[in-house]
Amino acid sequence: MIESLISFSIATFFLALSPGPDNLYVISQSLANGPKSGIATTIGLISGCIVHTTLLAFGISAIIVASGTFFYGLKLIGACYLLFLAYKVYRSNAHVDLKNKVSKKTYLQLFKQGVIMNLINPKVLIFFLAFFPGFLWDEFQNTIYQFFVLGIVFMTISFVVFSSLAILAGYISAALNKNKNISILLKWIQVIVFIGIAVFILIT
């Protein structure tokens, strides 16, 4: 259990840190309206993850109980999906542009928008589906409990990372926009993380 949680925590940390739609949106809000706006957005995004974790826990747990073979097939599909994400990142432009202006919203509006952004994005649930099952430490124990433990760890680490990005948004944006090497480094970190998680899922 401890080894799985440590591996999951490390993977989650790098995933939260690497450039993506969610954390870039948090940073853009912080740049335009201050760190508190970025943190309000982060709370909304993380709150949406509660719903995805619940759907994943009860839905996939039933599948695991019904068929262990199907579960391993699901892990294979998840690994392939993560490799596909790695390929998409590899093919993408490494430069990250955070200069776009965003409109001023209240903290409550930002929270609601964060929740909605998370819930209406089907890729989030698909990603959870690909990411979480590979880190279950015992398929014969209560998998609902295990999914919720992983969900809490994922949300906690993501919140800490996103909030830190919000606070450090000014420095981060300047570095990303002025130093091309940093953008390239972050791009390759994301590629390596996706491939690493896919390999971990396949060999466990």
Q: What is the mean pLDDT of residues 118-127?
A: 73
* SS3 label, residue 136: coil
Q: How far is CA 131 from CA 5, 76, 79, 195, 196, in A?
A: 13, 11, 8, 12, 11
Residue scoring higher pLDDT (178 or 152): 152
Structure confidence by residue, pLDDT tens digits, 92-110: 766 655 555 555 678 998 8
Residue tagged 């695991």 (tokens):
64
Could you tell me which of 118, 133, 121 has the C-alpha nearest to residue 82? 133
Phi-psi region of 102 (alpha: psi -120 to 50; beta: other; left: phi over 0): beta
Indicate the residue type of 50: I
Contact predicate 132/4, CB 8 Å: no
At residue 162, the pLDDT reads 93
**pLDDT at 65 exceeding the cut of 60:** no
Q: What is the mean pLDDT of residues 161-190?
A: 73
The residue range of the domain holding 53 is 2-203
* SS3 label, residue 105: coil
How far is residue 87's CA from residue 116's CA, in Å, rounded to a whole number?
A: 28
Q: What are phi and psi of 121, to 5 degrees?
A: -95, 105
- What total of structural domains would you count in the chain? 1
Structure confidence by residue, pLDDT tens digits, 9-59: 998 998 888 777 777 778 877 877 788 888 999 999 999 899 888 888 887
Q: Is the dihedral of CA 18, 20, 23, 28 positive or negative?
A: positive
Kindly indicate the confidence band of residue 155, based on its pLDDT and cuts at 50, 70 and 90: very high
How far is residue 36's CA from residue 117's CA, in Å, rounded to a whole number?
A: 18
How far is residue 119's CA from residue 51's CA, in Å, rounded to a whole number?
A: 8
Q: How many CB atoms lie within 10 A of CB 124?
A: 18
- pTM equals 0.71
Residue scoring higher pLDDT (41 or 124): 41
Q: What is the mean pLDDT of residues 160-166?
A: 92
Kindly indicate the confidence band of residue 178, based on its pLDDT and cuts at 50, 70 and 90: low
**pLDDT at 153 exceeding the cut of 90:** yes
At residue 113, the pLDDT reads 83
How far is residue 163's CA from residue 22's CA, in Å, rounded to a whole number?
A: 12
Residue tagged 């930002």 (tokens):
110
Kindly indicate the confidence band of residue 190, based on its pLDDT and cuts at 50, 70 and 90: low
At residue 58, the pLDDT reads 85
Contact predicate 161/56, CB 8 Å: no
